[in-house]
Amino acid sequence: MAARGDSLAMTAAASALELPDLAAIREAAARIGPHIHRTPVMTCAAIDAETGASLFFKCEHLQRVGAFKARGACNAVFSLDAATAERGVVTHSSGNHGAALAYAARRRGIPAWVVMPDNAPAVKQANVRRFGATIRLCAPTVEARESACDDVARESGATLIHPFDDPRVIAGQGTAALELIDAIEGLDAIIAPCGGGGLLSGTSIAATSLSQRIDVYGAEPVNADDAARSFAKGSVQPLAPTTTIADGLRTTLSPRTLAALRANVDAISTCSEAAIVRAMRMMFERMKQVVEPSGAVPLACLIERSLDVRGKRVGVIISGGNLDIDRLPWQVQ
């Protein structure tokens, strides 16, 4: 675990890799304002009692397309100049980023292509088609995915909008923390889930720029703890095939997001699969909120006390609420 800002080398690397600063996040907030929800912040006395902390849940499951991804996608799409935008955008995603990019493109009135593995569930494909994007199916490998994206870009001139390895996307994701810090006074910490690191990068840049007193934590399943290992080691570590139910977090960092985390994050916390299910149940039963497994991972870390925040005021980013309600995890053990 690296203490925040302890590595001048990493900070230098971060600027070489281009990361947004607070100004860029503020610009993103202004740019995407008309296209996204300023989501509410919820509290829950029962969960506070359970964790011994005062938790402030930033409800990105109530965001457009049901996930924070709408923020980054909108910022990227609305950052494009007119001539570039006209040719459309393309990405690869089997999840929320694909739907978010489709949504953003429709808001701007430009075409979007989403490359998905041919084994992607019908419900996820429908989620992308709902916003009028074109789906390009490919074999479920990294190579097939990248070559399909390249093909689309070459054929159409569309701009690739990466799910997280893009400063415009990171700046957009950082706007959730901006709103949270603006809404809730005196936060001691913010915790966000970490997959590819786009949300956590944006969150940590916003939080540390606005206040040196706010600790920033990442949260991931112990079954997909590549971010914790990468963070400790200082280089992107591979993720072995994994079985976590938090499907949104089965992604490794990029050198860019790792640099942001090393510069701005205090710790990456992990949790068990059982804790994820328990946190989801709590959010369904006590908060009455439908939260996807990835969105429950920060609370899972808190109830498992892999982070001790007792007595603190903690912002918790609920990343999304898209899941198959016919197969809830407590029913498919």
Binding region for a second copy (CB under 8 A): 40, 42, 61-62, 66, 281, 284-285, 288-291, 321, 325-326, 328, 330-331
CB 331 → a second copy: shortest distance, Å? 7
Q: Between 111 and 329, name the residue whose CB sits nearer to a second copy.
A: 329
CA 321 to chain centre: 12
CB 62 → a second copy: shortest distance, Å? 6
What is the H or E stretch that residue 204 is in? helix 198-210
**φ/ψ (deg, to 5) at 256:** -65, -50
Q: Between 87 and 281, name the residue whose CB sits nearer to a second copy.
A: 281
**φ/ψ (deg, to 5) at 244:** -65, 145
Q: Between 66 and 195, name the residue whose CB sits nearer to a second copy.
A: 66
- Spatial strand order in the sheet of 41-42: 41-42, 54-59, 313-318, 189-193, 215-221, 267-271
Q: Between 41 and 153, name the residue whose CB sits nearer to a second copy.
A: 41
Half-sphere exposure of residue 124, counting CA atoms within 13 Å on the CB side? 20
Q: Between 67 and 275, name the residue whose CB sits nearer to a second copy.
A: 67
Closest by CA position to 253, among listed 272, 273, 225, 276? 225
What the block records as the tokens of 156 is 């159409």
Q: Between 47 and 224, name the residue whose CB sits nearer to a second copy.
A: 47
CB 333 → a second copy: shortest distance, Å? 11
CB 46 → a second copy: shortest distance, Å? 9
CB 174 → a second copy: shortest distance, Å? 23
Q: Between 66 and 198, name the residue whose CB sits nearer to a second copy.
A: 66
CB 285 → a second copy: shortest distance, Å? 6
DSSP string, 54-76: EEEEEEGGGSGGGBTHHHHHHHH
Helices 22-32/69-79 angle, 10° precision: 90
CB 21 → a second copy: shortest distance, Å? 32
Closest by CA position to 214, among listed 314, 299, 297, 295? 314
- Spatial strand order in the sheet of 134-138: 134-138, 112-117, 89-92, 159-160
